[in-house]
Chain A
Amino acid sequence: MMTRRWSTFILLSLVILAVAGIGWAGSDIFQRFVIDMLVKLVVVLGLAVFVGNSGVFSFGHASFAALGAYSAAWFTLPVAAKKIFLPQLPAFALSTQVGLPTGAAIGVAFASLVGLLIGVIIVQLSGLGASIATVAWLAIVTTVLANTDAYTRGTSSLVGLPLATGIGAALISALLALFVAFLFKTSRYGLMLQASREDEVAAKATGISVRAVRLWAFVLSAALVALGGILQGHFRGVLTVSQFYFEFTYLTLAMLVIGGIRSLSGAVIGTFLVAGCAEMLRIVSGGFEFAGLMVPALPGLREIGLALMMLIVLLARPRGIMGSREFTWSVKTG
């Protein structure tokens, strides 16, 4: 039983390792694609901790990616850059520069704290109400970040972040996120939350404090999504507020839903599948020459392809590709 349970973790780790290995060996462009995909995986696994276990859809987690990324950048930006771009930062932040690990710790801590504060409110609400509240929350955070120029440069982009997210950092973070998500899912709390997902009334009747468990899942998931946002910032070297808005929300939710929210194997498969398709569609929609024929750039094609993919999966397999199954040693089982 024990080995069977952990076999899912080991198998998925091997898949991630293999993907990272191929990326490491590949060309620069391909490596960038793999890093981006692993960063997205961190976010999707983070989402899975809350959405997957509780069954409550959150449209607001992009806010934690944004909060994490910006608060980490306050400390990881080179002092010279900070003095130019964010001269109004508090003195202690302005005068220090830390590496990515410390910066990430700061960013994750900050986002988790905010997640705890808003989480307390969101877990008061049931299903749809909670989802709508997360939409409102994302709108709040985006509005605030886009208008606090002193900390974010507002609608301009914040440049000069050290490019510290290499394939190693992305791989370690993805494995860490997988481990955390797996540990939570199979823990007592995770099982309680899954029970509430299937039947909230029954779960309450058995004495489960749905709110408390949901809150812990919310905070944990905010922390992982924040880590993903921090990695993305230090991968691209640039932060904009719009980077963490509906586009980001859509893409990461699509990855989760297409794979199947009830399964971590689904989160991994969904992320890799959607990222792969998105990359191919991106190349196609960028315009190309084929047999002497110029195919013009088709902006929007990538998004249309992804949306169709998601709709088809929703209509054909509302529980995603994996349903609630996980990969194990022997065979796939329910």
Chain B
Amino acid sequence: MIYVIQTLVDAVSVGAVYALSALGIGLLFGVMRLVNFAQGEFVTIGIYTLMLTVGLWFPLAAILTVLVVVLLALLADRLAFKPVRDADPATMLITSFALSYLLQNVLVLIFGARPIGFNIIPELGLPVMIGEIRIPRLNILTICVAVGLLTGIALFLRRTRIGIEMRAAAVDFRMARLLGIKGDRVIAVAFALTGVLSAVVAVLFAAQTGTAAPTYGLQLALVGFVATVIGGMGSLVGAVFGGMIVGVVTVCLQALLPPELRVFREAFVYAVVIAILVLRPDGLFQGVGSRERV
């Protein structure tokens, strides 16, 4: 029983990180039909920023990380994506692929390809005891941060004018522009939000692993794709749930599968993705009332 609860908490905290990652991917897909491979590198660069600022007071380091990644996301929009925005989705896709490769190898050039260890706040590793259940503080922090950030973004999308404009642009970009909504601004805000999400993912991921390597982000970006597909491409709520599901299922498979099958865990997850793409192209939550179809 104790093991089950501990595993569940673990699963939810992994799911929370995946949900944030997926929402970042989902936002840009919704607003501009961009499948952004480079989001992985937004996260990776966040991890390295944190590594460089690790000596500083932690909240300051975290804020710096957010600023760097948001700036990076805005620059990516301006320099790489804006020029190809009117091209077909395939061109944007390949542009993001090239940008991802570029950023990843800039990191290799500066820091080398090997993982570098660092330690943010050692106390985070200590568990909290609730009765006999040991829960690492980090897991609690992760879940709280994710819930807080998701709530904040939900409020932003529901209550602010620019948030409503973003939801509208995600459903029907052309109609939004016909009403005078500035497409450039909406897209820039979407990139900035993606930057915030990536930076937070970076902080949580770095706190968990305590290492930085140039390829870490790619894996998270792939998880983000998977989650958005499961949740329905372009549905923001769906992306969050999709991320959560992937996280929970991955951890549970890890715990439940016999060791000889455990190594094929990811193959199962990706096979499910293909199946959903074919059988339920609008995602698993098709028809749920709260869903925001894009």
Contacts and interface: CB of A to CB of B under 8 A. Distances in A.
A284 to B, nearest CB: 12
B84 interface: yes
Contact of B99 (A128, A300, A307): A307
B105 interface: yes
B170 to A, nearest CB: 15
A129 interface: yes
Contact of B266 (A56, A139, A300): A139
Contacts of A318: 84, 87, 91
Nearest to B218: A246
A318 B85 CA distance: 11
Contacts of B108: 299-300, 303
Contact of A57 (B94, B109, B113): B94
B101 A125 contact: no
Give the interface SS of chain B, mostly helix, strand, loop or mixed.
helix
A314 B91 contact: yes
B95 A314 contact: yes
B164 interface: no
Chain B's interface size range is 35 or more
A234 B24 CA distance: 42
Given A128-B33, A136-B274, A301-B109, A311 B222 contact: no
A304 interface: yes
B75 to A, nearest CB: 13
Contact of A315 (B84, B101, B112, B113): B84
A125 B109 contact: no
Interface string B209-248: 0000000001000100110010001000000000000000
B264 A307 contact: no
A140 B271 contact: yes
Interface in A210-234: none
Interface in A180-233: none
A129 B271 CA distance: 14
Contact of B226 (A131, A136, A254): A136
A131 B90 contact: yes
Between A128, A129, A304, the greatest number of chain B beta carbons within 10 A of the residue's beta carbon is seen for A128
Interface residues of A, number: 41
Nearest to A310: B98
A127 interface: yes
A257 interface: yes
A304 B84 contact: no
A124 interface: yes
B278 A299 contact: no
Contacts of A257: 94
Interface of B: 33, 35, 80, 83-84, 87-91, 93-95, 97-99, 101-102, 104-109, 112-113, 218, 222, 225-226, 229, 233, 263-264, 266-267, 270-271, 273-274, 277-278, 281
5 contacts: A132-B35, A132-B277, A136-B226, A299-B112, A303-B104
Top 6 nearest A-B pairs by Cβ distance?
A300-B108, A307-B102, A300-B109, A303-B105, A300-B105, A136-B270
Interface of A: 55-57, 59, 121, 124-125, 127-129, 131-133, 135-137, 139-140, 143-144, 146-147, 246, 250, 253-254, 257, 298-301, 303-304, 306-308, 310-311, 314-315, 318
